[in-house]
Amino acid sequence: MLSPVVFLVFLFVISPAAPAAVVGDGGMTMTLQLERAFPTSHGVELSQLKARDRVRHGRILQQFPNGVVDFPVEGTYDPFLVGLYFTRVQLGSPPKEFYVQIDTGSDVLWVSCASCNGCPTSSGLQIQLEFFDPSSSSTARPISCSDQRCALGEQSSDSGCSTRNQCGYTFQYGDGSGTSGYYVADLMHFDTIVGNSLTTNSSAPVVFGCSTSQTGDLTKPDRAIDGIFGFGQQGLSVIAQLSSQGVTPNVFSHCLKGSNGGGGILVLGQIVEPNLVYTPLVPSQPHYNLNLETIALNGQTLAISPQVFETSSNRGTIVDSGTTLAYLAEEAYEVFVNAVSQAVSQNVRPLVARGNQCYLTTSSVGDIFPMVSLNFAGGATMVLRGDDYLIQQNSIGGAAVWCMGFQKIPGQGLTILGDLVLKDKIIVYDLAGQRIGWANYDCSQAVNVSATTSRGKTEYVNAGQIGNSSPRNDPYTLLLSVILTFVLQALAFGTYSFL
């Protein structure tokens, strides 16, 4: 997970009624239903969101046709509700379901395992926690110390070998929490769509962590889940493993609704939109770092030195869909907030609430607050409206209190673009092309998806347009599904490694 701040996380649940991303010309598609879980009995103050983000940022760690896996999002988007986004993944044989947090700041998928020391047994999210037992899965195989995938794990964690020749790992997060265990290879199961109408069950071999010990916040039951779904760039991330097998392309995308209805979609594949603009990823970085060059308000560039945003060991600009708020480098924060306050000084009443710059107004923030432009290398600009950088805190005498959603991490030069600014946009993480793209979009609408990236042929149709027929009864497709599953199992557990 990312280190010194908090991120909203993605929660997914398999659902046959979920709209699916469809790949043209016989491409293979996999679907999961994404839901959001949260207690609805109370809201969350900005200080609590910042505290959660500090914890989160303390956790920044270190031949089939390509298909598409999509995660339709459910639930309400509201940063003042204590909520998480998670997915329910199926692992093992027979398949068993686990709730796992989606985390673009770490790389490895891990779940709580049998006989785990310190793992929570109940959750305030009203979900049933589960424990993975390798001895109960006929396809589970431990990763030995001599396995090349054990060495690959050193990119993402402190790996070590036990006296039993098991490849172990330890993740230590900046907030003091951590987990340790050992790596296992087993099948991950998906709902798969082949072509425009066929839905079958499919699976792919993945290596994931079996957690036998947890400490710190990971042990607290209020937001407890079964594990973490790392979505980073290293070799043991699920996106890297599936793309290396040809199961999915080396790209993923999301589109999160910002309206009260919430929801959206996350795709293991590329959402295609003609208005997408791209900026290169900073090379050789463990996270999704971009070169932010300048910030402008209503077209006027702020007096912030470009060096403030340069990437180094503890500086730079990171895109993280798991962060609740957004964060500016400390040297840029005061300049930005002062400029916004000056721009609206004739229309709002400024006030400071619990150390946060806030504004009292009876008008729409979209009408009176300036447009903010984040200008990146390559000429790509991300335009933010008032409600993309402000959060409504409460009301006083019929007037709304809006507080600055951008925060700062004292003593650090990190700029982190979280869900606050990523909502209502298509965001594409093109790992094959080493770039990130975005476009403003109504995420309540269907999206087009592609099974390839900029380096290959693009074939796509509209997501969510699956027919209502019963394709599972097609004998040709059922036979194809059996063959695909057999070959995937052979790749996972035969003589040849899939990495």
> Residue ranges per domain, the chain?
2-271+444-493, 274-440
Question: Contact at 8 Å (CB) between 80 and 391?
Answer: yes
User: What's the pLDDT score for residue 320?
Assistant: 84
* pLDDT given for residue 59 in this prediction: 45
Q: Has 103 been annotated as catalytic?
A: yes
Fold entry, domain 274-440:
Cathepsin D, subunit A; domain 1 (2.40.70)
| pLDDT at 432 exceeding the cut of 90 | yes
Can 367 be counted among the known catalytic residues? no
**pLDDT at res. 25:** 37
Residue among 70, 320, 419, 424 flagged as catalytic = 320
CATH C-level class of 2-271+444-493:
mainly beta
Domains 2-271+444-493 and 274-440 share a fold: yes
Report the alpha-carbon distance of residue 346 to residue 72 in Å, rounded.
42
- Choosing from 70, 103, 147, 191, the catalytic residue is 103
CB atoms near residue 138 (< 10 Å): 10
* Residue 25: C-alpha distances to residues 205, 470, 484 (Å): 25, 19, 17
Q: Which of 11-25, 242-256, 343-357, 426-440 has the lowest mean pLDDT?
A: 11-25
pLDDT confidence of residue 260: 66
pLDDT of 175: 64
User: What is the band of 52 on the pLDDT scale with cuts at 50, 70, 90?
Assistant: low
Nearest alpha carbon to residue 296 among 335, 323, 249? 335
Q: Which two tokens stand for residue 239?
A: 């996106």
pTM score of the predicted model: 0.77
Q: Are strands 28-31 and 178-194 parallel, antiparallel or unpaired?
A: antiparallel
Most confident listed range (76-85, 387-396, 485-494): 387-396
Residues 215-268: tens digit of each pLDDT: 998 898 887 889 988 888 888 898 999 899 988 889 988 888 877 666 777 788
CA dihedral sign of residues 261, 465, 265, 429: negative
pLDDT of residue 353: 86
